[in-house]
Amino acid sequence: MKRFFSVATAMLIAVFSLAQIDSAELHKWRSQKYSMFIHFGAIYSQLGGVWDGHPVSRGLSEQIQAHAGIYSDTYAEVAKTFNPPRWNPDSIALLAKEAGMRSIVITSKHHDGFAMFNTKTTDFNVVDATPYHKDVLKGLSDACSRHGLRFGIYFSLIDWHFPQAMPISSHNSDRITPEHHEYNKQQITELLTNYGAVSELWFDMGSMSVEQSREMRELVHHLQPNCMIGSRIGNDMGDFTVMGDNQEPDYIIGVPWQSPASFFDETWGYRSWQKREDEEGKVKEKLTSLIRVASRGGNFLLNIGPRGDGSVVEYERDVLLKIGNWLKKNGEAIYNTQPDPFHVAFNWGSVTSTSDKIYLHLMQTPSDGVILLPGLKGVIKKAYVLSDQTTCETVKNAQGVQVKLPSGFAVNNEFKVIALQFADGFTVPPANIIPVKGNVLLNTDNAFKYFSNSGIDYNTRYTSTIKEAFTLLPEKKETLIPYLNYSPEEKGKSIVLTLGNNSQVIALDNDSPVSLNTEVASLKTGPVYLNGPMYSGLDGVHASVENINIDKPWPGQNGQVWQAHPEWKNGSINMLPAGMMTAYYLLQEIESPKEQQLLVKLVSGDGIMVFLNGKKRFIQNNPFKKDSVTHYILLSLKQGKNQLVVKLFNHFQKQVFFAIDTHIPQVVYQKQLPPVQLNKNIYYPVSWSLNEPFTPHQDLDLPDFSLELKAKR
């Protein structure tokens, strides 16, 4: 069985490092905050979610060919009627500008394979196959240039029209054949050669190999070094990570990121029979999303789906214009801002900031007309309502700063923004303050985490942890000795450890082995129970994995009954029938006479999640698609019955491999570092991340790593 980081993997990592986007260009991309997405296709936009005279309610309307089961030649015939009299690139660009958007990203080719640009690779394109005979992308690219907007391109990696591509599937994470990969590269070359500067390339779906994603990334940056690449290129090769559709994360993301949003969850392309009601409610909904995304440091990409005649749906136009009107008064609180500096939730709204300003986005009126900003320090020059300059009173107290809203102030039909301007910057308490009273243990359980997304493709991605951080606050002057502890899972990795103002690279290798005080013989392990298969992605579970009753169906009343498999012996390799996008759950009960740690060896074929007593301990995929992957997880057993639950996810294997082995050497490793000095009531930052990770999105995979700081005796 092969470890996740084999010698071959280490060599691949050594020879491949991601080219970096120019910092000024990256800043421009991150600062724009709000952009227009356009799903416009010669065929699906004309059909508008209708086939053979009937609405097609299954699936997204831009994928109507698959969901309505339309023959490819019949579908292609529709292109002969595409001649949009109301498509006006300048009008689109001007609408985006009036709406407050800073760039436009348009579909060059969706899953149906129809190219909305002039390509030499196929005649299935807007110039050759339609009476319109015009390059839609070229017209819009030129319009963006004329009106000062950045231009971005969406590109589907899967293509239902290309003969050597994989056939249509239900999940769209289809393998990209070698012929298809070359075809895609030819089209990307055209797109990055003939349409001027492209600010971002928004790949979608498909499942490329590591080598294919690497080749595509290198091609993009060879042609346009500062074109930002979206994470759906796969295999963590993106310059920015793309959230799930309409996702607004409530956690800190440690890389550039973007949230794509549609007007309606049901479709991105035009749907003629879509119910479009409560325009004011939709304005608030999308403006709320924009503010929340900006407050977390992301970019918001809001989609429109023009009709087949090229016109923008009036409902969508009017919502955009109303958001634009709000931005004309409050835009400085969105563009070029930094995330919310506070690490607490406010029930009245969200926060954005710059180096000398804090913006309070009020989405509802505080009940007492007062906002408390905990721990805020700095000289406030002015506090005012951004839209009309009405002054607000501020009062400093022991908790921080109170902002008193003007008399009669209310958030009714329009969100309000309060701006606090500082004379010389401001400070707020850091995240994750841990009081120090002698010894302190830092690990993933009490860390403040910075996240990204990692995965081979869209359907195998999960929320990866890329950094863990802590802020120590000593009650007195302390001299502490740091000890690094890690298990075989971390052995061989290299981390960047920050202690105070000093960062150092540390190899987790060749350190002293330490035997755990585990009484393995005292443990009573029951048989392994099986539940599944179930349709699934890698991340998440189908129901609670805490206190599972093995005698009842799971999940829920109509679920499957857990099946005992006493023939699956400890440490033996077992196999289960594989299916695409499926998961099995294994459950084993471990009886322990006392609290103790147990090191367990787990073997899986694809993705894996590990839970102990309902708490997630580990998640990882198989990015290099090895036959099997071995992991070592340290379990903190409680006295009495413990439940170990393992989710086995399969995407590409022909069989699902697994093994659970508790009869392994109970040995971990420890490294002592030089003493550190902590001063009374002075914050002392601590953090760790991977040294030279394969990509910025790669998961730490440090489930058992800890830093123990012991008082010097």
DSSP for 138-192, written as a single string: HHHHHHHHHTT-EEEEEEES--TT-TTSPPP-SS---B--HHHHHHHHHHHHHHT
Report the alpha-carbon angle 440-441-444, nearest 5: 145
CA nearest 576: which of 645, 659, 643?
Answer: 659
Q: H-helix or E-strand containing 215?
A: helix 210-223
Cβ atoms of residues 659 and 573 within 8 Å: yes
Give the per-residue pLDDT at 16. Answer: 42
Statement to judge: residues 404 and 482 lie in one domain: no
Would you state the torsion angle of the CA atoms of residues 122, 127, 130, 131, taken in this order, to the nearest 10 degrees? -150
* Average pLDDT of the residues in 427-442: 94
Report the CATH number at residue 234: 3.20.20.80
**pLDDT tens track for 260-272:** 999 999 999 999 9
Give the per-residue pLDDT at 19. Answer: 62
Question: Cα dihedral sign for 670, 671, 677, 679?
Answer: negative
The structure tokens listed for 289 are 């999303």
What's the rounded Cα separation, in Å, for the pair 84 and 65?
A: 20
Q: Is the peptide bond before 339 cis (omega within 30 degrees of 0)?
A: no
What's the rounded Cα separation, in Å, for the pair 651 and 204?
A: 18
Statement to judge: residues 282 and 365 lie in one domain: no
Domain contains 573: yes
The mean of the pLDDT values for the chain is 94
What's the rounded Cα separation, in Å, for the pair 669 and 144?
A: 57
* Average pLDDT of the residues in 345-362: 96
Domain contains 20: no
Q: Is the pLDDT of residue 8 over 70?
A: no
* Burial of 584 per CB tally in 10 Å (0-12, 13-18, 19+): buried
Cβ atoms of residues 529 and 660 within 8 Å: no
Among 632, 647, 665, the domain boundary falls at: 665
pTM: 0.93
Statement to judge: residues 456 and 414 lie in one domain: no
What's the rounded Cα separation, in Å, for the pair 288 and 297?
A: 14
Question: Domain limits at 571?
Answer: 520-665
Domain contains 8: no
Report the CATH number at residue 625: 2.60.120
Give the per-residue pLDDT at 170. Answer: 86
Name beta bridge partners: 656.
Answer: 576
Task: Work out the pLDDT band at 6, boundaries 50, 70, 90.
Answer: very low
What's the rounded Cα separation, in Å, for the pair 106 and 146?
A: 17
Domain contains 2: no
CA nearest 607: which of 588, 593, 587, 623?
Answer: 623
Pairing between β-strand 676-678 and β-strand 615-620 as defined by DSSP bridges: unpaired
Statement to judge: residues 53 and 175 lie in one domain: yes
Cβ atoms of residues 444 and 705 within 8 Å: yes
Pairing between β-strand 574-577 and β-strand 655-661 as defined by DSSP bridges: antiparallel
Task: Work out the pLDDT band at 171, boundaries 50, 70, 90.
Answer: confident
**pLDDT tens track for 277-333:** 999 999 999 999 999 999 999 999 999 999 999 999 999 999 999 999 999 999 999
| Residue 336: alpha-carbon gap to chain centroid | 21
What is the biggest distance separating any 2 CA atoms in the chain, rounded to whole angstroms? 85
Task: Work out the pLDDT band at 15, boundaries 50, 70, 90.
Answer: very low
CA nearest 228: which of 326, 324, 103?
Answer: 103
**pLDDT tens track for 600-625:** 999 999 999 999 999 999 999 988 88
The alpha carbons of the chain give a radius of gyration, in whole angstroms, of: 28
**pLDDT tens track for 108-129:** 999 999 999 999 999 999 999 9
Q: Is the pLDDT of residue 149 over 90?
A: yes
Q: Is the pLDDT of residue 399 over 70?
A: yes
Statement to judge: residues 407 and 447 lie in one domain: no
What's the rounded Cα separation, in Å, for the pair 516 and 157?
A: 49
Cβ atoms of residues 486 and 496 within 8 Å: no
Statement to judge: residues 38 and 147 lie in one domain: yes
Statement to judge: residues 31 and 103 lie in one domain: yes
Among 665, 686, 702, the domain boundary falls at: 665
The structure tokens listed for 437 are 């009273």
CA nearest 497: which of 487, 508, 489?
Answer: 508
Cβ atoms of residues 692 and 494 within 8 Å: yes
Q: Is the pLDDT of residue 74 over 60?
A: yes
Would you state the torsion angle of the CA atoms of residues 430, 434, 437, 438, taken in this order, to the nearest 10 degrees? -100
What's the rounded Cα separation, in Å, for the pair 324 and 222?
A: 36
Statement to judge: residues 223 and 241 lie in one domain: yes
pLDDT > 90 in the chain, percent: 89
Q: Is the pLDDT of residue 172 over 80?
A: yes
The structure tokens listed for 643 are 């439940």
Give the per-residue pLDDT at 291. Answer: 98
pLDDT > 70 in the chain, percent: 97
Q: Is the pLDDT of residue 17 over 60?
A: no
Statement to judge: residues 215 and 160 lie in one domain: yes
Among 388, 422, 456, the domain boundary falls at: 422
Q: H-helix or E-strand containing 47?
A: helix 44-47
**pLDDT tens track for 650-680:** 988 889 989 999 999 999 999 999 999 999 9
Give the per-residue pLDDT at 18. Answer: 59
Report the CATH number at residue 359: 2.60.40.1180
Map residue 290 onto helix, strand or coil. helix
Give the per-residue pLDDT at 222. Answer: 97
Give the per-residue pLDDT at 7. Answer: 28
* Phi and psi, residue 561, nearest 5°: -85, 140
What's the rounded Cα separation, in Å, for the pair 50 and 678?
A: 68
Give the per-residue pLDDT at 3. Answer: 30
Give the per-residue pLDDT at 557. Answer: 81
Cβ atoms of residues 582 and 536 within 8 Å: yes
Cβ neighbours of residue 555 closer than 8 Å, sequence gap 6 or more: 542, 543, 544
What's the rounded Cα separation, in Å, for the pair 332 and 417?
A: 10
Domain contains 212: yes
Domain contains 340: no
What's the rounded Cα separation, in Å, for the pair 251 and 182?
A: 38
Domain contains 16: no
The structure tokens listed for 291 are 């503010």
Q: H-helix or E-strand containing 425?
A: none
Task: Work out the pLDDT band at 413, boundaries 50, 70, 90.
Answer: confident
Cβ atoms of residues 127 and 118 within 8 Å: yes
Which residue has tokens 């506070």?
A: 342
CA nearest 614: which of 643, 588, 584?
Answer: 643
Name beta bridge partners: 301.
Answer: 35, 260
Statement to judge: residues 262 and 399 lie in one domain: no
The structure tokens listed for 604 are 């899986």
What's the rounded Cα separation, in Å, for the pair 214 and 34?
A: 29
Number of independent structural domains in the chain: 4
What's the rounded Cα separation, in Å, for the pair 671 and 370?
A: 50
Statement to judge: residues 170 and 191 lie in one domain: yes
Statement to judge: residues 439 and 547 lie in one domain: no
* Average pLDDT of the residues in 151-180: 95
What's the rounded Cα separation, in Å, for the pair 272 and 266?
A: 12
**pLDDT tens track for 98-111:** 999 999 999 999 99
Q: Is the peptide bond before 555 cis (omega within 30 degrees of 0)?
A: yes
Domain contains 549: yes
Name beta bridge partners: 240.
Answer: 230
Neighbours of 596 (CB within 10 A): 19
